[in-house]
Amino acid sequence: MTLRRLLSALIAALFVLTCGHAALAQTPPLTPGTVTGVHTLTSCPSDFSSNMLAHGRCFGATLHCAAQGVSNVPDLALTFGVAGPSTASTVVFFSGGPGSLSDSDINQYVDNYYSPPNNFQVVQIDWATTGWGFTVSGSNANVLNAACRPAGFLKFVHDNLFHSGTAAGMCAQGISAGSAAVAYSLSWYGATLDNAELIAGPPLADIKTGCQSSAQAVTICPNSASEPECKGWPVSGTLYTDARYEPTYSPLQPELVQISKDTGTLEASGHASCEDSTVVLQDDPIWAAQGVAQPAIQNTSLAHTAMAAWICASTTGTVNNSSPEGWLYYNTVAGSPAQNLPTPFAVNAIYSCAGAEGESGGHTQNGTSGRTAIQTGMVASCKHHP
């Protein structure tokens, strides 16, 4: 047993359940939601890509998670668009934040994959304004359960829009919280994907680490020469001196409040529990039981999925914790038994990221632009993996 797998096993053995709280430890695979009430819209949302607006068909629907219970994960409205030939490889896109609005970064990828010579079928989604990660107010909120929504949507696309049985691939691309939507779907809900391109995250890999009240140092690819998944990193990796969501605690800081809401730990005062030194110890087990990067996911086989991560080795301008959080997920995946590892599996270093989560605007170690490298990876790997 490798040192990495031994450490993962010890973590699993020492895992503490939270009594009297909804965030008890779970074991994959969990049950994805279902898409219901699909109806045609007369137009597509204005935030979708130019090719989606010009050539796509858009629909409204509802995501229903029966296994989690509607009292815990209420039905959520969504809008999605489809463009391109149904017989081609299909890419589903998940944007950052709550996923309720697409952005120019995602839209450029949508247009490039749709256009010649790629000619992919592309799918965009806007969740209702609360976003895919919010479930209910109070202690029953659980972002791991909420991930039944993106997992359910991916299953819907696979079963209804993707032309299986050919060489075409069923694939997904997510940025920031959108990469978390894809990672949860793969590792916890058994999503069927041939390729996943994950950018700037997943930031919900280890919520416990992100919510600590003191700085948490994380080194990405600390032994890159002996870590085969690490591509283009310095020999000793890249040190992030603080992998928390915010460098200083503020009780009403929007991101900390949202994470507290989504994990069922918001204080009665409405203040964020995440990073609050007075409650961190009591909430640690709750956060630990909801992040993507739990040892239990090493039992999920990703052998038929190619996975490429794109995170920052250096940044110009502002920095956030999406890269070190992402590494905590990829390092957990890398500790899986060999037969469960993604094939191929790459954690790619991007240099001079254009600010926080600016991987598309940075470049690889050999000087290729981040956007070009990500697109090249998707085009090469979005094909059927038997």
Which domains does the chain carry?
A: 3-381 (3.40.50.1820)
How many angstroms separate the Cα of 344 from the Cα of each of 90, 128, 139?
19, 34, 39
- The confidence score (pLDDT) of residue 22 equals 47
Both tokens of 352, joined, read 């001079």
**Residues in contact with 43: Cβ distance below 8 Å, sequence separation at least 6, in sequence order:** 58
pLDDT in tens, the chain (386 residues): 343 333 333 333 333 333 344 446 899 999 999 999 999 999 999 999 999 999 999 999 999 999 998 899 999 999 999 999 989 999 999 999 989 888 889 999 999 999 999 999 999 999 998 999 999 999 999 999 999 999 999 999 999 999 877 899 999 999 999 999 999 999 999 999 999 999 999 999 999 999 999 999 999 999 999 999 999 999 999 999 999 999 999 999 999 999 999 999 999 999 999 999 999 889 999 999 999 999 999 999 999 999 999 999 999 988 999 999 999 999 999 999 999 999 999 999 999 999 999 999 999 999 999 999 999 999 999 999 88
**Residues in contact with 337: Cβ distance below 8 Å, sequence separation at least 6, in sequence order:** 5, 298
C-alpha to C-alpha distance for 237 and 176, rounded to whole angstroms: 21
Backbone angles phi, psi at 126, to 5 degrees: -115, 120
Q: Residue 110's closest CA among 163, 158, 55?
A: 55
pTM, full prediction: 0.93
